[in-house]
Amino acid sequence: MINAVVHFAAPYRLPDPAKLGEAVVLLDIGFCADLEGRSFETITEPFIDGLGDRLKLWIDHHTHDRHAEFSQDERFVLVPREQAPACPELVTPERVRWAGAVDTIVCHSDFDGIASAAKFLLEGREPYEGCDADARAIDSLVGTASAQGLRYAAALAIRHDEPMLRMVLMSLVEGSEPAPAAKAIDEAAKKFGARVERTRQAVAAGELIGAAWLVDGRQSKRKLDRTQALLMAQKRAPYGLFLGGDGRLSLATEMSTPVDLPDVFSTRGGMLNRITLPMNRLTEVLSFVERLG
Q: 95, 119, 145: which is the final residue of a domain?
A: 145
Q: Give 116-142 pLDDT, tens digit per residue.
A: 999 999 999 999 999 999 999 999 999
Q: Do residues 164 and 184 touch, judged by C-beta distance below 8 A?
A: yes
Please indicate, yes or no, whether residues 135 and 211 belong to a single structural domain of this protein. Answer: no
Q: Give 46-64 pLDDT, tens digit per residue.
A: 999 999 999 999 999 999 9
Confidence check: pLDDT of 198 > 90: yes
Confidence check: pLDDT of 269 > 90: no
Confidence check: pLDDT of 159 > 90: yes
Quick one: what percent of the chain has pLDDT higher than 90?
96
Q: Give 71-128 pLDDT, tens digit per residue.
A: 999 999 999 998 999 999 999 999 999 999 999 999 999 999 999 999 999 999 999 9
| 56 in any annotated domain | yes
Confidence at 39, pLDDT banded by 50, 70, 90: very high
Mean pLDDT of all residues in 30-38? 90
Q: 105, 124, 145: which is the final residue of a domain?
A: 145
Q: How many domains does the chain have?
A: 2
Q: Do residues 54 and 24 touch, judged by C-beta distance below 8 A?
A: yes
| 177 in any annotated domain | no
| 41 in any annotated domain | yes
Please indicate, yes or no, whether residues 221 and 123 belong to a single structural domain of this protein. Answer: no
Cα separations in angstroms, 81 against 11, 113, 233: 16, 14, 22
Q: 98, 119, 145: which is the final residue of a domain?
A: 145
| 193 in any annotated domain | no
Mean pLDDT of all residues in 154-162? 96
Please indicate, yes or no, whether residues 132 and 12 belong to a single structural domain of this protein. Answer: yes
| 128 in any annotated domain | yes
Confidence check: pLDDT of 277 > 90: yes
Expressed as residue numbers, the domain containing 17 is 5-145
Confidence at 270, pLDDT banded by 50, 70, 90: confident
Q: Outline where the chain has alpha helix (H).
A: 45-51, 93-99, 111-121, 131-140, 147-158, 162-174, 179-204, 226-233, 261-264, 282-292
Mean pLDDT of the chain: 96
Please indicate, yes or no, whether residues 141 and 14 belong to a single structural domain of this protein. Answer: yes
Please indicate, yes or no, whether residues 111 and 9 belong to a single structural domain of this protein. Answer: yes
| 186 in any annotated domain | no
Confidence check: pLDDT of 293 > 90: no
Please indicate, yes or no, whether residues 10 and 140 belong to a single structural domain of this protein. Answer: yes
- CATH assignment at residue 237: 3.10.310.30
pLDDT at position 13 is 96
pLDDT at position 245 is 95
Please indicate, yes or no, whether residues 139 and 227 belong to a single structural domain of this protein. Answer: no
Please indicate, yes or no, whether residues 223 and 110 belong to a single structural domain of this protein. Answer: no
* Three-state SS sequence of 128-142: CCCHHHHHHHHHHCC
Confidence check: pLDDT of 36 > 90: no
pLDDT at position 153 is 97
pLDDT at position 268 is 85
CA atoms within 13 A on the CB side of 152: 30
Please indicate, yes or no, whether residues 216 and 129 belong to a single structural domain of this protein. Answer: no
pLDDT at position 37 is 85
Please indicate, yes or no, whether residues 37 and 134 belong to a single structural domain of this protein. Answer: yes
CA atoms within 13 A on the CB side of 200: 6
Residue type, 10: A
Please indicate, yes or no, whether residues 139 and 252 belong to a single structural domain of this protein. Answer: no
Determine the Cα angle at 6 with ends 2 and 8, to 5°.
Answer: 150
| 159 in any annotated domain | no
pLDDT at position 28 is 98
Query: What one-character DSSP code corresponds to residue 216?
Result: E
pLDDT at position 8 is 98
Please indicate, yes or no, whether residues 14 and 132 belong to a single structural domain of this protein. Answer: yes
pLDDT at position 58 is 98
How far apart (Å, rounded) are the C-alpha atoms in residues 172 and 158?
18
| 180 in any annotated domain | no
86 burial class (0-12, 13-18, 19+ CB within 10 angstroms)?
buried
